[in-house]
Amino acid sequence: MLKNEVIPVLNIFYEDSVNTRLISIISTLYKREEREYLQQLLIGAGERKIEIFIYEADIIHGYALKILCEYCICIKIKLYVQKKTLQSYFLRCGIPSLLINRRSIPEEMNIPVVQETDTNRAVDQIIDSEASEQEFTDELIGRFADVVYSKYGFDFREYQKNSLKRRLQIFVKKERIRGFSRMYEEIFENRENFEKLMIDFPIRTTEFFRDSDVFKVIRNKILPYLDSYPSIKIWCSGCSTGEEPYSLAILLGEAGMLDKTHIYATDLNPNVVEEARNGMFGIETIQKGAENYVNSGGENHFCDYFNFCGKCARIKHQYRNRILFFQHSLTNTGILNEFQLILCRNVLMYFNNSLQNKVLKLFNDSMDLSAFLLLGKSEGIQNNDGNDVFYAYDRENRIYRKKEILTGKENC
CA 261 to chain centre: 22
Q: How far is the CB of 347 from ligand SAM (least distance, A)?
A: 4
The stretch near ligand SAM (CB under 6 A) out of 131-139, 312-320, 341-349, 401-409 is 341-349
- Rule CB under 6 A: is residue 88 a binding residue for ligand SAM? no
First-to-last CA distance in the chain? Answer: 72
- Rule CB under 6 A: is residue 212 a binding residue for ligand SAM? no
Q: How far is the CB of 400 from ligand SAM (least distance, A)?
A: 16
Q: Which of 62, 94, 112, 238 binds ligand SAM (CB under 6 A)?
A: 238
Three-state secondary structure call for residue 303: helix
- Rule CB under 6 A: is residue 170 a binding residue for ligand SAM? no
- Rule CB under 6 A: is residue 289 a binding residue for ligand SAM? no
Q: Which of 11, 85, 97, 206 binds ligand SAM (CB under 6 A)?
A: 206
- Rule CB under 6 A: is residue 272 a binding residue for ligand SAM? yes
Distance, in Å, from the CA atom of 411 to the CA atom of 352, rounded to the nearest integer, reads 29
34 and 11 Cβ atoms separated by less than 8 Å: yes
Q: How far is the CB of 5 from ligand SAM (least distance, A)?
A: 42
Q: How far is the CB of 290 from ligand SAM (least distance, A)?
A: 16
The stretch near ligand SAM (CB under 6 A) out of 25-33, 82-90, 118-126, 327-335 is 327-335
Please, which residue, 278 or 331, has the CB nearer to ligand SAM?
331
- Rule CB under 6 A: is residue 356 a binding residue for ligand SAM? no
- Phi–psi pair at 172, nearest 5 degrees: -65, -35
- Rule CB under 6 A: is residue 203 a binding residue for ligand SAM? yes
Q: Which of 34, 267, 275, 379 binds ligand SAM (CB under 6 A)?
A: 267
Distance, in Å, from the CA atom of 201 to the CA atom of 136, rounded to the nearest integer, reads 16
Three-state secondary structure call for residue 205: coil
* Identity at 348, one-letter amino acid code: L
Q: How far is the CB of 217 from ligand SAM (least distance, A)?
A: 15
Q: How far is the CB of 187 from ligand SAM (least distance, A)?
A: 18
- Phi–psi pair at 255, nearest 5 degrees: -85, 0
Please, which residue, 35 or 167, has the CB nearer to ligand SAM?
167
What is the maximum alpha-carbon separation in the chain? 80
- Rule CB under 6 A: is residue 269 a binding residue for ligand SAM? yes
* Identity at 401, one-letter amino acid code: R
**Per-residue interface string for the shown chain with ligand SAM, residues 374-403, x marking contact by CB under 6 A:** --x---------------------------
* 143-153 as b/e: b if 16+ CB within 10 A: ebbeebeeeee
- Rule CB under 6 A: is residue 214 a binding residue for ligand SAM? no
- Contacts to ligand SAM from residues 240-259, by CB under 6 A: 240, 244
- Rule CB under 6 A: is residue 280 a binding residue for ligand SAM? no
How many contiguous H segments (helices) and E segments (strands) does the chain have? 14, 15
Q: How far is the CB of 268 from ligand SAM (least distance, A)?
A: 4
- Rule CB under 6 A: is residue 97 a binding residue for ligand SAM? no
State the number of binding residues for ligand SAM (CB under 6 A): 21
Distance, in Å, from the CA atom of 35 to the CA atom of 14, rounded to the nearest integer, reads 14
* Identity at 293, one-letter amino acid code: Y
Distance, in Å, from the CA atom of 406 to the CA atom of 143, rounded to the nearest integer, reads 41
- Rule CB under 6 A: is residue 347 a binding residue for ligand SAM? yes
- Rule CB under 6 A: is residue 205 a binding residue for ligand SAM? yes
180 and 135 Cβ atoms separated by less than 8 Å: yes
Kindly state the helix (H) or strand (E) to which residue 53 belongs, with its residue range: strand 49-54
Burial class of 24 by CB neighbour count within 10 A (0 to 12, 13 to 18, 19+): buried
HSE, side-chain direction, 13 A CA sphere, residue 340: 17
Which residues lie near ligand SAM (CB under 6 A)?
202-206, 210, 237-238, 240, 244, 267-269, 272, 329-331, 345-347, 376
